[in-house]
């Protein structure tokens, strides 16, 4: 027998594929429309004029032909919805942005060729979907919706029940069939060829089904993610994989794997916790959560966001907010014009799943006092916190523009999520952005100013050190230090509607350094005794000019 090789195999160290310069914008292809023009071309023109100087990553939400769920029920993964534009329009963005797209791989549309072929027992598609007859015990299945799990369909072999995690129109794919995985790999190659280098794995937690289990976070799902990462990085070493797993925090963190699954994971607990913080004027839960978050290791990072095209997920706050606190948050959201979507538990009970409301409307006031005059300041403060946290910041287009609730759009579609999916007329939007006292212009300009400042601070690298500071329940504060330890930033944010004063002696401002607020330019020295923060005021005190 040959002797065993005793030399260790050294794995190549993981590299960070991002810096403090990276900021992401999220938008639908048709969030901004102009009559007679393909929306992707309208979006491109807007991005060139208003975004590219401030933001370098762009996530265009599903742009393929679809039958429901605003793009997440894909009919054909290989083409661009002709109502939006064509592949040339997509490719143009790649010249100016690191482009991100969705791999809607858990399910596809009933109107897809694959599903039609499933019903006629022809290829491709005849074994691409799950026949529920293979399962005996579905009692433990975790549901993100209140709709039935199974849906009946007529096939050439008679009636069958297919698996529908999200809706009757979105039929789950069968990843136990290797041909399905091969189809997804072909789609990945196509997207890479079109200039897409960041892949969002939509609803990936539900990918693998196993009889008698909860059918979420299965070990096979994690193995599939590892395989997809290997394939994607082999095809394009610079590519990035991000998992969309809107679940409680501990489960979400598992998708980093051992440095071999997601490069980025969404910080799903941040939106409900930060919203509760801003509406309650108390940051204790946010601080406790942040102290419990492990720093992302090299080659991994958190994607921080407060709002997205979906609602504000409430499941990630489970175990973090008490029942009373969650109830107060929900009632305040309703008072500010929002809706609450429900899911069904394995026991058959309905429980809150997400809050459907525009982020700007959600910050109209407080839990205690209702609407007030601090909406703009509260809103900017929340985003200032997000910009300073460990991780990459991501802005939904309607967060950048401070779009209000679209109650009309929700009524017309019958979908609660439409409240936060307004479609702007390009002309109406430009008029707002040209009006000095428009809140849309005020917010958009100030957020872009703070984004620009953030991108210049090495202490805000997504993997830079972060420590929580303690200045009471009304000031959310933390310290960041750059990877090379040359820059420190003390980030202090008043999350209440009352002024706050912080003694400078409580900050470790090294006497040999010059300290100043990079947000406003104020300097601090040994003659200063305190920092005064107005309601929702923020300072980023740095030792770098």
In the block, tokens 């015990």 appear at 137
The helix (H) or strand (E) run that includes residue 480 is strand 475-481
Q: Angle 169-171-177 (CA atoms, 0-180°, nearest 5)?
A: 165
Please report the DSSP string for 104-115 in residue order.
Answer: --SEEETTSHHH
The dihedrals phi and psi of 353, each to the nearest 5 degrees, come to -110, -45
Cβ atoms of residues 301 and 16 within 8 Å: yes
Quote the tokens at residue 318: 């489970």
Q: Positive or negative, the Cα torsion across 384, 389, 393, 395?
A: negative
Q: Is 350 annotated as a binding residue?
A: no
Q: Is 253 annotated as a binding residue?
A: no
From the list 338, 254, 345, 260, the residue with the least C-alpha distance to 294 is 254
Secondary structure E strands in 289-391: 301-304, 312-313, 339-344, 350-356, 365-366, 370-371
Quote the tokens at residue 456: 């210049």
d(C-alpha 421, C-alpha 424), whole Å: 9
Bridge-partner residues for 318, per DSSP?
Answer: 321
Cβ atoms of residues 513 and 299 within 8 Å: no
- Residues 6 or more apart from 518 whose CB is under 8 A from it? 453, 456, 457, 489, 540, 541, 542, 544
Q: Is 200 annotated as a binding residue?
A: yes
Q: Is 34 annotated as a binding residue?
A: no
Q: Is 417 annotated as a binding residue?
A: yes
Q: Angle 139-204-72 (CA atoms, 0-180°, nearest 5)?
A: 100
From the list 256, 261, 206, the residue with the least C-alpha distance to 232 is 261
Cβ atoms of residues 178 and 157 within 8 Å: no
Q: Is 217 annotated as a binding residue?
A: no
d(C-alpha 396, C-alpha 400), whole Å: 7
d(C-alpha 225, C-alpha 237), whole Å: 16
SS3 labels along 225-274:
HHHHHHHHHHHCCCCEEEECCCCCHHHHHHHHCCCCCCCEEECCCHHHHH
Bridge-partner residues for 24, per DSSP?
Answer: 57, 394
Task: Write down the catalytic residue from 89, 169, 172, 202.
Answer: 202
The answer to whether residue 452 is catalytic is: no
- Residues 6 or more apart from 71 whose CB is under 8 A from it? 28, 61, 62, 63, 64, 81, 102, 104
Three-state DSSP state, 439: helix
Please report the DSSP string for 354-374 in residue order.
Answer: EEES-HHHHTSEETTTEE-S-
Bridge-partner residues for 160, per DSSP?
Answer: 153
d(C-alpha 253, C-alpha 404), whole Å: 32
Quote the tokens at residue 337: 């014009």
Active centre residues (catalytic): 202
Q: Which residues are annotated as a binding site for substrate?
A: 69, 107, 200-202, 309-310, 417
Q: Which residues are annotated as a binding site?
A: 69, 107, 200-202, 309-310, 417
């Amino acid at each position: 027998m040959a002797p065993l090789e005793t030399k260790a195999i050294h794995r190549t160290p993981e590299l960070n594929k991002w810096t403090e310069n990276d900021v992401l914008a999220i938008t639908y292809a048709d969030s901004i429309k102009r009559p007679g023009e393909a929306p992707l071309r309208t979006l491109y023109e807007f991005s060139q004029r208003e975004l590219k100087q401030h933001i370098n990553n762009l996530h265009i939400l599903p742009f393929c032909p679809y039958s429901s769920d605003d793009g997440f029920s894909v009919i054909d993964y290989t083409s661009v919805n002709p109502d939006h534009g064509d592949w040339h329009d997509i490719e143009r963005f790649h010249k100016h942005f690191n482009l991100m797209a969705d791999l809607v791989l858990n399910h596809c549309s009933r109107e897809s060729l694959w599903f039609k072929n499933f019903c006629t027992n022809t290829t491709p598609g005849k074994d691409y979907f799950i026949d529920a007859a293979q399962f005996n015990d579905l009692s433990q299945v975790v549901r993100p919706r209140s709709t039935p799990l199974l849906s009946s369909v007529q096939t050439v072999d008679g009636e069958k029940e297919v698996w529908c995690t999200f809706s009757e129109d979105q039929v789950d794919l069968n990843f136990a069939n290797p041909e399905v995985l091969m189809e997804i790999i072909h789609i990945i190659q196509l997207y890479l060829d079109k200039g897409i280098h960041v892949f969002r794995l939509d609803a990936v937690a539900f990918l693998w089904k196993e009889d008698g289990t909860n059918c979420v976070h299965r070990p096979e799902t994690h193995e599939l993610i590892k395989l997809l990462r290997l394939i994607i990085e082999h095809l394009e070493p610079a590519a990035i994989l991000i998992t969309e797993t809107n679940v409680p925090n501990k489960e979400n963190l598992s998708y980093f794997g051992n440095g071999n699954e997601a490069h980025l994971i969404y910080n799903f607990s941040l939106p409900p916790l930060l919203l509760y913080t801003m509406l309650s004027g108390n940051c204790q839960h946010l601080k406790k959560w942040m102290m419990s978050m492990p720093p992302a290791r090299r080659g991994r990072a958190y994607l921080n966001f407060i709002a997205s095209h979906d609602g504000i997920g409430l499941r990630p706050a489970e175990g973090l907010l008490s029942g009373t606190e969650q109830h107060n948050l929900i009632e305040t959201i309703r008072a500010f014009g929002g809706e609450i979507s429900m899911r069904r538990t394995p026991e058959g009970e309905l429980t809150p799943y997400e809050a459907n409301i525009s982020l700007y409307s959600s910050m109209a006031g407080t839990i205690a006092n209702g609407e007030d005059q601090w909406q703009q300041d509260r809103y900017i403060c929340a985003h200032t916190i997000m910009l300073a946290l460990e991780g990459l910041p991501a802005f939904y287009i309607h967060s950048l523009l401070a779009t209000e609730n679209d109650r009309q759009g929700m009524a017309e579609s019958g979908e609660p999520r439409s409240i936060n999916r307004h479609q702007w007329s390009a002309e109406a939007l430009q008029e707002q952005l040209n009006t000095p006292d428009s809140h849309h212009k005020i917010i958009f300009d100030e957020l872009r100013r703070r984004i620009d400042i953030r991108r210049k601070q090495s202490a805000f690298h997504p993997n830079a050190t972060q420590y929580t500071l303690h200045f009471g329940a009304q000031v959310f504060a933390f310290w960041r230090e750059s990877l090379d330890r040359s820059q420190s930033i003390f980030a202090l944010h008043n999350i209440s509607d009352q002024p706050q004063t912080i003694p400078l002696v409580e900050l470790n401002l090294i006497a040999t350094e010059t300290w100043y607020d990079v947000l406003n330019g104020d300097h601090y020295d040994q003659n200063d005794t305190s920092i005064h923060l107005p309601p929702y005021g923020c300072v980023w005190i740095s030792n770098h000019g």
